[in-house]
Amino acid sequence: NNRKSNSRGALIVLEGLDRSGKTSQSSRLHSYLEGLGYLVESWHFPDRNTGVGHMISSYLANKSQLDDHAIHLLFSANRWEKRSLMETKLRSGTTLIVDRYSFSGVAFSSAKGLDIEWCKAPEVGLLAPDLVLYLDLPPEKAAERGGYGGERYEQLEFQKKVAHSYQLLHDPSWKIVDAGLPVEEVEKQLTEMVMDCVTTCRNGKALSQLWS
């Protein structure tokens, strides 16, 4: 068991366009860490299992219409309603691998034309990730992979705008990984970055808040 008492878990976020491989890489990372004896959980935003999550899910399925600002705030509220549980888990030593977070929130809404600073404001005070892994794939390549479902946003033209918005959000704490490489190679690169991060957090790195 690799767990040191009193050491906290790491908050690791995967971001990228639809079909960039976030979900399958998340599960590979989960298995890897679990195999080493770490406490780990996989989370996904939006969390569709809450009351707010049901509203989001219905909006994404085109079963309901909402003003762009209103849906943005619901996505944010969906993170806020999980914030205290997130902090409890991290402080008790569990590493969280989170598939999409505030960066998806800002990238998707600003791709619709909302002001980027307005989009960031409701995220201020949420826990800041210790590591953001961006799975980089050109929108055309992502579309070629097929498997876009019928949900809102799953269209090439819109994904191009999202890719552009993500670029405005990159900061030096992001690790950009070429998601066009073979899955095993992507996994290898991610694993190294994650192990570094998990170690830094165990060694006492403080939790911080967005946006910093």
Summarize as ranges the residues that interact with ligand 2DT (CB under 6 A): 45-46, 60, 75, 100, 104-105, 108, 153
In the complex with ligand 2DT, the residue whose CB is nearer, 147 or 204, is 147
Cβ of residue 108: shortest distance to ligand 2DT, in angstroms?
3
In order, the DSSP letters of 51-78 are HHHHHHHHHHTTSS---HHHHHHHHHHH
In the complex with ligand 2DT, the residue whose CB is nearer, 38 or 45, is 45
In the complex with ligand 2DT, the residue whose CB is nearer, 38 or 101, is 101
Q: How far apart are CA 54 and CA 96, in angstroms?
A: 23
Contact at 8 Å (CB) between 186 and 21? yes
In the complex with ligand 2DT, the residue whose CB is nearer, 97 or 198, is 97
Range 49-87 burial, b when 16+ CB lie within 10 A, else e: eeebbebbbebbeeeeeeeeeebbbbbbbbbeebeeebe
Cβ of residue 152: shortest distance to ligand 2DT, in angstroms?
8
Cβ of residue 151: shortest distance to ligand 2DT, in angstroms?
7
Cβ of residue 67: shortest distance to ligand 2DT, in angstroms?
14
- The token pair at 35 is 């195999």
- The token pair at 186 is 């992507």
